[in-house]
């Protein structure tokens, strides 16, 4: 007997596949979504009694197609609507699985089209390929549900009004368009890493899907490797009291060895291709971190070399800031502080946190405490704010330290 949780598993695995096939078949995103949702509602009613079909994905696609035709017939108040229903009914039924590769890629590139606002790309990707509800996406990104709903409505209207094609870009346009797709997936992952683990799971699933569908694109492989190696550290990122533990202080025995092994294998695959890109280089940096049994054993010279390469391939102030952290380990905190002070990232809380750590190491606790406080004020997540506030209190000179009860710590 099929349980509701089994159908939920099918939903998570097959929703994006079914919607992508139905969008190609119907040419209408809203109608495709409604038809697939109707099909899963029918499955919830029928499968517990009859058992799942041999091909759940094919059953969902076929049932959704039939529901769409029925809906068009019911709503055929105009001759054109009736003609459309007749045309769809006469069309040969799609294969059970549909041309999975092309359909899912088409939908990904449609959701991440550069004509759409960045927030809309993320919302559409999570909605149409991830199967997340409007409420789930709104909660994940801390926006009101009506705001998120309007964002989705406007994005779909933009696709219709602008005639955004439902297809994989031409080869000449693929690199630029692929960058937008990868940026959306990585944004989803980063949003999840600061709070919502389900978003990380969605990003990893999308990364695995892209790697399967585009195995010859090294940056796709690099992004998946990067996310796996970062996600592997999640179990050690919080102390027993829930407080944040930065990378140097993490218990590496708690890192997920299977994810590290998978990520490192993908990095090696990228190295063999010898076509370095930003995601591949960042993955290689994280692979070096994952190789070190302790923080003290980290090969910072290799990491610095990789950051030098990243600054050549994709220079940015944030990359320069991360490079300065490696410089501090290789050349000392004074040299790193000079580099940090030359950056224009005043509203970026990580800059203040890095500067605070360098000042602390240089024996300037008052200035360090001030920078930790500035970082805490700018941090977006509660966990980061709490950690930075704790560092501020610990670093403050005794004569300026606030008089308050000590905060209990973990182990």
85, 73 in Cβ contact below 8 A?
yes
pLDDT of residue 94: 46
DSSP 274: T
Across all residues in the chain, what is the average pLDDT?
Answer: 87
Contact assessment for residue 382 and residue 364, using Cβ atoms and an 8 Å cutoff:
no
CA–CA gap between residue 353 and residue 70 (Å, rounded)? 59
Stretch (H or E) spanning 233: none
Question: What pLDDT score does 78 carry?
Answer: 56
Q: pLDDT band at 93, cuts 50/70/90?
A: very low
Mean pLDDT of 365-376: 96
pLDDT of residue 72: 81
Supply 190's token pair.
Answer: 């980063």
**Cα distance between residue 42 and residue 40, in whole Å:** 5
**Between these two residues, 121 and 167, which has the higher pLDDT value?**
121
Burial state string for 329-350 with b = 16 or more CB within 10 A and e = fewer than 16: beeebeebbebbeebebeebbb
Q: What is the pLDDT of residues 323-339, one digit of tens each?
A: 999 999 999 999 999 99
Percent of the chain with pLDDT over 70: 89
Q: Residue 312: is its pLDDT beyond 90?
A: yes
Using alpha carbons, list the distances in angstroms from residue 3 to 52, 57, 64: 10, 17, 21
What is the distance, to the nearest Å, from the Cα of residue 50 to the centroid of all Cα atoms in its chain?
37
23-39 tens-digit pLDDT:
988 888 999 999 999 99
In sequence order, what DSSP letters do the residues of 131-142 get, joined into one string?
Answer: ---HHHHHHHTT
Mean pLDDT confidence for 142-155: 92
The highest-confidence range among 105-119, 166-180, 308-322, by mean pLDDT, is: 308-322
Burial of 250 (C-beta count, 10 Å sphere; 0-12/13-18/19+): middle
Residue 282 has pLDDT above 50, yes or no: yes
- Model confidence band, residue 74 (pLDDT cutoffs 50, 70, 90): confident
pLDDT at residue 349 tops 50: yes
pLDDT, position 284? 98
User: From CA 131, how far away is CA 144, in angstroms rounded?
Assistant: 19
* Cα separations in angstroms, 395 against 80, 328, 357, 373, 400: 73, 19, 10, 10, 10
Neighbours of 197 (CB within 10 A): 11
Rounded to an integer, the average pLDDT of 285-312 is 97
**Do the beta carbons of residue 62 and residue 96 sit within 8 Å?**
yes
């Amino acid at each position: 007997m099929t349980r509701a949780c089994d159908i939920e598993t099918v939903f998570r695995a097959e929703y994006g596949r079914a919607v992508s096939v139905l969008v190609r078949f119907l040419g209408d995103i809203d109608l495709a979504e409604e038809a697939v949702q109707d099909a899963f509602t029918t499955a919830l009613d029928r499968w517990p009694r009859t058992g799942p079909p041999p091909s759940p994905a094919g059953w969902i696609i076929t049932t959704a197609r039939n529901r769409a035709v029925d809906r068009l017939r019911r709503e055929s108040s105009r001759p054109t609507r009736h003609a459309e229903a007749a045309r769809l009914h006469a069309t040969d039924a799609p294969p059970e699985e549909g041309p999975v590769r092309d359909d899912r890629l088409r939908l990904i590139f449609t959701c991440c089209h550069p004509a759409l606002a960045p927030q809309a790309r993320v919302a559409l990707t999570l909605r149409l390929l991830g199967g997340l509800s409007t409420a789930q996406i709104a909660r994940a990104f801390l926006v009101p549900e009506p705001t998120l709903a309007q964002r989705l409505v406007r994005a779909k209207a933009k696709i219709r009004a602008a005639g955004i094609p439902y297809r994989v870009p031409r080869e000449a346009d693929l690199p630029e368009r692929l960058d937008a797709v990868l940026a959306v997936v990585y944004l989803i992952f980063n949003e999840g890493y600061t709070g919502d683990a389900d978003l990380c799971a969605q990003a990893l699933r999308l990364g695995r899907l892209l790697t399967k569908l585009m195995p010859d694109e090294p940056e796709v492989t690099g992004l998946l490797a990067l996310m796996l190696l970062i996600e592997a550290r999640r179990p050690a990122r919080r102390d027993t009291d829930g407080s944040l533990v930065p990378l140097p202080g993490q218990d590496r025995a708690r890192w997920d060895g299977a994810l590290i092994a998978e990520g490192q294998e993908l990095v090696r695959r990228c190295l063999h291709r010898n076509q370095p890109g930003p995601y591949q280089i960042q993955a290689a940096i994280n692979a070096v971190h994952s190789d070190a049994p302790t923080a003290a054993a980290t090969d910072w010279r290799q990491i610095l070399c990789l950051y030098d390469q990243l600054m050549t391939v994709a220079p940015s102030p944030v990359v320069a800031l991360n490079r300065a952290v490696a410089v501090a380990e290789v050349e000392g905190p004074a040299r790193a502080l000079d580099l940090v002070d030359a950056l224009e990232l005043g509203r970026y809380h990580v800059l203040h946190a890095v500067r605070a750590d360098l000042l602390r190491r240089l024996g300037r606790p008052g200035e360090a405490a001030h920078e930790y406080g500035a970082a805490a004020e700018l941090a977006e997540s509660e966990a980061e704010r709490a950690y930075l506030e704790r560092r501020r209190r610990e670093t403050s000179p005794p004569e300026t330290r606030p008089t308050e009860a000590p905060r209990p710590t973990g182990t």
